A = this chain, B = another copy of it.
Amino acid sequence: MIYLDNAATTYPKPKEVYDALDFAQRNLSFNAGRGTYKKSQECLQVLDDLRKEIASICRADYRDVALLSSATEALNIIINGIDWKDGMNVYVTPFEHNAIIRPLYNIKKTVNLNIHILPFDKETWEPELSKIENMFALDNPDVVFSSQISNVTGLLIDYSAVFELAKKHNSVTVLDAAQGYGIVELSTKNVDFIVFAGHKSLYGPFGVGGFINLNDSKLKIAKSGGTGSDTLNHDMPDFKHERYESGSPNVPAVYGTLEGIKWLKNNNVKEHEIKLTKYLIDSLESLEKVGVYAPVDKSKMFGIVSISVDGYSADEIGHILADEFDICIRTGYHCAPLIHEFINSTINGGTARISISGFSTKEDIDSLIDALSTF
């Protein structure tokens, strides 16, 4: 099996992650901090260890790292925690995921939000800053969302330029870094919240995601429950990450994610992916029937490449690659509802997406190219 669906979840994980998970399931599967005994306190320490690692990646305060079950949960807690009022203006890039779009449209059922799509240039895929400046002046931004990396096209989105304009209007800014956190450096300037996913760029297992609340903003409570603390108080505790974390923490998954981050530190995954992404794009462009969804400057793409093949729908491409060549890619809309109009891929039922990881090889790409050349 050749696995090229790493944007969905990285596979394989480093061996150390599997071993750590197995160890932790057998030895660290206790209710963190809820007991007076040693193992419970040890588990609490594991959670703080991950908070510190996550925080150090962007030089944040570890107490501002909320550990949750997924990036989707994190985005829901942020979006449902904002104090929305009728007439507020929300801006999203055309690259955003349904973990942002659906919660926003859900809010819109009861609050009259204006949801605007930020204009991006169709050639360069850069944000059209002067247009955005005018939009912001006309309809002052209250909250602005951007991904770090598009999960469909691999574009490194220039969120910094957009957030800089947004902050002139004191907008809240949310960066969805699910595809790159821990691999591609990011600027935290003008960013309020960063969302991460353990099972993607951090090479951990399913079960860990969260957000970094860089400016310790106070969200309304969107999820609450037992915290093992201040039990007689019907409110959640008010301190930093504790305000957003309820229920039994998934300690083994956290322990595994720590190993994923350790592995990332010892391997230059970024360089590997930059080289392999270039090799992938160059190879794809040698195929006559293949079209690559890309901006003019392809060095802005990282790890993910979406393609079309003349005469085939996206799903057909995926099925043929899977059934005849045992190559795993993902096809369709990739939970990103807005981008397909921008790249004009709805006509094909979305795109065929190839996504690599630190474990992908030139041989994987060559096999894919060989397979696609038979189309």
Interface residues in A37-95 by Cβ distance below 8 A to B read 37-40, 69-73, 75-76, 80
Please name all residues of chain B whose beta carbon is closer than 8 Å to the beta carbon of A36 when the two chains form the complex. Answer: 315, 318-319, 322, 329-331
Residues in chain A within 8 A of chain B (CB atoms): 1, 5, 8-9, 11-13, 18, 21-22, 25-26, 29-31, 34-40, 69-73, 75-76, 80, 97-99, 101-103, 105-106, 197, 199, 205-207, 221-228, 231-236, 246-253, 256, 315, 318-319, 321-322, 327-337, 340, 346, 350
Q: Are B29 and A250 in contact (CB under 8 A)?
A: no
Q: Are B231 and A337 in contact (CB under 8 A)?
A: yes
Given contacts A1-B39, A31-B5, A98-B224, contact A248 B70 (CB under 8 A): yes
State A333–B331 Cα separation when bound (angstroms): 50
A-B contact pairs, 22 of them (CB 8 A): A5-B35, A5-B37, A13-B25, A18-B22, A18-B26, A25-B256, A35-B328, A36-B315, A36-B322, A36-B329, A37-B322, A37-B328, A69-B69, A69-B250, A72-B248, A75-B225, A76-B225, A207-B207, A227-B335, A228-B335, A231-B333, A234-B337
Please name all residues of chain B whose beta carbon is closer than 8 Å to the beta carbon of A226 when the two chains form the complex. Answer: 72, 97-99, 102, 335
Q: Which residue of B lies closest to A332 (CB)?
A: B231
State A276–B58 Cα separation when bound (angstroms): 51
Given contacts A102-B221, A102-B246, 5 further A-B contacts (CB under 8 A): A72-B246, A105-B235, A207-B250, A231-B334, A232-B340
Copies in the complex: 2
A52 to chain B, nearest CB (A): 21
A82 to chain B, nearest CB (A): 14
Which 7 residue pairs spanning A and B have beta carbons closest together?
A72-B247, A226-B335, A231-B333, A36-B318, A69-B69, A8-B31, A99-B225
State A336–B226 Cα separation when bound (angstroms): 8
Given contacts A8-B31, A37-B318, A337-B234, contact A76 B224 (CB under 8 A): yes
Q: Are B5 and A318 in contact (CB under 8 A)?
A: no
Q: Are B102 and A206 in contact (CB under 8 A)?
A: no
State A256–B250 Cα separation when bound (angstroms): 14
Q: Are A199 and B315 in contact (CB under 8 A)?
A: no
A339 to chain B, nearest CB (A): 10
A29 partner, pick from B26, B29, B30, B205, beta carbons under 8 A: B205
